């Protein structure tokens, strides 16, 4: 007779227990999710591709911060930043010369996107930003790059191998841009995985929102150089070069055929015929190169069109 109320109580208790379990799981999920999102440290230094420890939880206020800084202050005039690079310094896998070249290229790209200017100087102590290169075990978290914003220097990792020799690797440039933006702009990271300011990803380039943010913070680029995504420029150059070689070979072929046909001397004609065949082999060899450059170009072009909205003219 009293079975019924009992079972109702039991059912209610089970449901309550289930609900509590769900809430606990949700809470756990939220906490772990948030803690995976930051790499900022207490002393103002910031890491890149660094390990994250639980006490370094910082909520991502990145885009909100942009909104407040830009509505309260007018767009700044050109910011000029002096920098110094440690002579002989390098990143793993590439030479010092190539490292310095990529570093300068990274800063030039920032100039092309927004109204910030960089001047390289030789006097270490008077530079606004100094670049040092350190081995993995002497760099905090073993990070690829680290910005010491209050002390005015950036450390780059010179032992960690991340594929800098890979075709079109942008790791060096991306890390330099990331750390430089910590120096000049914000200690925070973005939650967008496509952002150059993401705490864990090394992206290829600024995403669309990055460019908007950079315009808001530094103003638009006024240096006259038009912004052109690096990879697109490179893919275009390779394709143009290959196409030019291919067209040239066809012109050579036309000329050789004319030369052959203009003579009635059998020996001369035979020699020319051999040249024509050699030329044909070169034409055939150039085709796959050109096709692969074309495929690269279309791929890169599509990438910029859809993820960035950049239309190549
Ligand atoms: Zn960072």
Give the tens place of pLDDT for each residue, 74-122: 445 667 899 999 999 999 999 999 999 999 999 988 988 888 999 999 9
DSSP labels for 63-107? HHHHHHHHHHSPPP--EEEEEEE-TT---TTS-HHHHHHHHHHHH
The strand pairing partners of 289, in sequence order, are none
Looking at the whole model, is its pTM more than 0.85? Answer: no
CA distance 297 to 237: 9
Between the CA of 150 and the centroid of ligand 1 the distance, in Å, is 14
- Hey, is 164 helix, strand or coil? coil
Phi, psi angle pair for 46, to nearest 5°: -130, 150
Between the CA of 59 and the centroid of ligand 1 the distance, in Å, is 14
Between the CA of 93 and the centroid of ligand 1 the distance, in Å, is 22
Average pLDDT over residues 163-176: 89
Q: Is the pLDDT of residue 192 over 60?
A: yes
Between the CA of 147 and the centroid of ligand 1 the distance, in Å, is 8
Between the CA of 143 and the centroid of ligand 1 the distance, in Å, is 10
Q: Is the pLDDT of residue 64 over 60?
A: no
Between the CA of 189 and the centroid of ligand 1 the distance, in Å, is 6
Between the CA of 199 and the centroid of ligand 1 the distance, in Å, is 5
214-261: per-residue pLDDT in tens? 888 888 877 666 666 667 777 888 899 999 999 999 999 999 999 999
187 contacts 181 by C-beta, under 8 angstroms: no
Between the CA of 146 and the centroid of ligand 1 the distance, in Å, is 7
Say what the pLDDT of residue 20 is. Answer: 67
Say what the pLDDT of residue 95 is. Answer: 96
Between the CA of 284 and the centroid of ligand 1 the distance, in Å, is 48
CA distance 248 to 235: 20
CA distance 287 to 292: 9
Between the CA of 23 and the centroid of ligand 1 the distance, in Å, is 33
Between the CA of 302 and the centroid of ligand 1 the distance, in Å, is 28
| Lowest-pLDDT range of 62-71, 98-107, 195-204 | 62-71
37 contacts 30 by C-beta, under 8 angstroms: no
- Contacts (Cβ under 8 Å, ≥6 apart) of 299: 235
Between the CA of 46 and the centroid of ligand 1 the distance, in Å, is 5
Between the CA of 179 and the centroid of ligand 1 the distance, in Å, is 6
């Amino acid at each position: 007779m009293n079975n019924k109320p009992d079972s109702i109580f039991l059912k209610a208790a089970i449901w309550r227990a289930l609900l509590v379990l769900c809430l606990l799981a949700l809470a756990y999920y939220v906490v772990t999710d948030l803690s995976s999102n930051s790499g900022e440290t207490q002393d103002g230094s910031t890491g890149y591709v660094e390990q994250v420890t639980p006490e370094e939880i910082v909520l991502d206020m990145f885009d909100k911060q942009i909104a407040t800084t830009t509505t309260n202050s007018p767009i700044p005039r050109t910011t000029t930043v002096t920098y110094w690079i440690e002579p002989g310094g390098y990143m793993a896998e590439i030479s010092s010369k190539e490292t310095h070249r990529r570093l300068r290229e990274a800063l030039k790209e920032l100039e092309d996107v927004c109204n910030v200017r960089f001047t390289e100087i030789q006097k270490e102590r008077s530079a606004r930003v100094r670049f040092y290169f350190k081995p993995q075990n002497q760099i905090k978290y073993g990070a690829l790059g680290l910005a010491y914003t209050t002390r005015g220097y950036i450390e780059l990792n010179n032992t960690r191998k991340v594929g800098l020799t890979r075709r079109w690797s942008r790791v060096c440039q991306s890390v330099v841009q990331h750390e430089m933006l910590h120096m000049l702009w914000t200690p925070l990271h973005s939650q967008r995985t496509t952002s150059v300011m993401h705490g864990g990803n090394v992206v290829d380039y600024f995403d669309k929102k990055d460019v908007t943010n950079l315009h808001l913070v530094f103003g638009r680029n006024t240096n006259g150089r038009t912004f052109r995504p690096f990879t697109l420029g490179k893919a275009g150059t390779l394709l143009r070069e290959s196409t030019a070689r291919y067209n040239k070979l066809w012109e050579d072929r036309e000329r050789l055929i004319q030369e052959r046909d203009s003579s009635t001397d059998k020996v001369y004609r035979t020699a020319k015929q051999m040249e024509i065949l050699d030329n044909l082999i070169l034409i055939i060899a150039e085709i796959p190169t050109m096709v692969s450059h074309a495929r690269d170009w279309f791929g890169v072009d599509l990438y910029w069109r859809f993820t960035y909205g950049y239309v190549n003219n």
